[in-house]
Structure 1
């Protein structure tokens, strides 16, 4: 039996409290804005003693000539909880959210050399498209 549960975040304070899982500290305004945006979802994995041990975030997308799909924005698991099935459980829960929202697909991107992420996504049933390229504008105001 798993030593954690996965729940959808509805309270911005939960994200602020889970800041240690994110790349940067989560501000109350950032958490509230994220959770208030249509189509955005954040799931947290919590240990039996209440510690936040992982998260996954996604954004529902729709284009006029395609079915709805969910973009897996970010996935993270606390170092001490890796390789225990937390990421797999988070991905399965995000899949269920996507299906409940009527999404037909889910996709994400990662670095080509991120072996851990690629293995996790493969184990969750994803196909790896080696031919894709991500194009990034990091600072729209600069150019």
Structure 2
């Protein structure tokens, strides 16, 4: 297995990862119904504050994560937020997710980040077990606030 930090030329791999997310999260509509153009994805992958890391078995994306770097205002430091992380069914429980997170931590440290954080849904026991193995658990509430102010 090879870990690869995607660059703007890696749109094909990003599309594979997006399909993997759709399958892993049982949400193919969100992750596949309206795919962005190659130019849009190239622009995202070119941004320094967006990290997309994939695990490859040959040419196949078998896992990956998307994370965002956030500059803080209370101190001169950064945090990195893992937004999506998934591994193909046949590659789970083989250390792929741990390797992806450890690689992200190396990238984050090189960028001056002081912490990487992630959230998990209640009931997602495999994800919770993974994150508890790697970090400190905090109990928080998450709220989605629509910008058009209509309820979800």
TM-score (norm 1): 0.85
Distance 2:40 2:143 in 1: 25
Q: 1:100-125 CA distances to partner (integer Å, 9 max, x unpaired)?
A: 110001111111221111111122x2
Following TM superposition, the consecutive aligned residue runs of length 4 or more in structure 1 with deviations greater than 6 angstroms are none
The reply to whether residue 51 of structure 1 matches residue 60 of structure 2 is yes
Q: Cα deviation per residue 1:27-77 (whole Å; 9 max; x = unaligned)? A: 335522421334001000001x32110001110001211321101111100
Summarize the Cα distance change of 1:29–1:110 in structure 2 as closer, same or farther, 3 Å threshold. farther
Match of 2:70 among 41, 58, 61: 61
**What runs of 5+ residues in structure 1 fail to find an aligned partner?**
none
TM-score (norm 2): 0.81
Q: How many residues align?
A: 136
**8 Å contact kept, 1:13–1:31:** no
- Alignment root-mean-square deviation, CA: 1.7
Q: Distance in 1 between matches of 2:74 and 2:18?
A: 37
Residues 1-143 of structure 1 aligned to structure 2 (within 5 Å): 4-10=1-7, 11-23=10-22, 24-25=31-32, 26-27=35-36, 28-47=38-57, 49-66=58-75, 67-123=77-133, 125-130=134-139, 132-137=140-145, 139-141=146-148, 143=150
Cα distance in 1, alignment partners of residues 123 and 16 from structure 2: 31
Cα distance in 2, alignment partners of residues 17 and 75 from structure 1 = 13
Residues 73, 30 of structure 1: alpha-carbon distance in 2 compared, 3 angstrom cutoff: farther
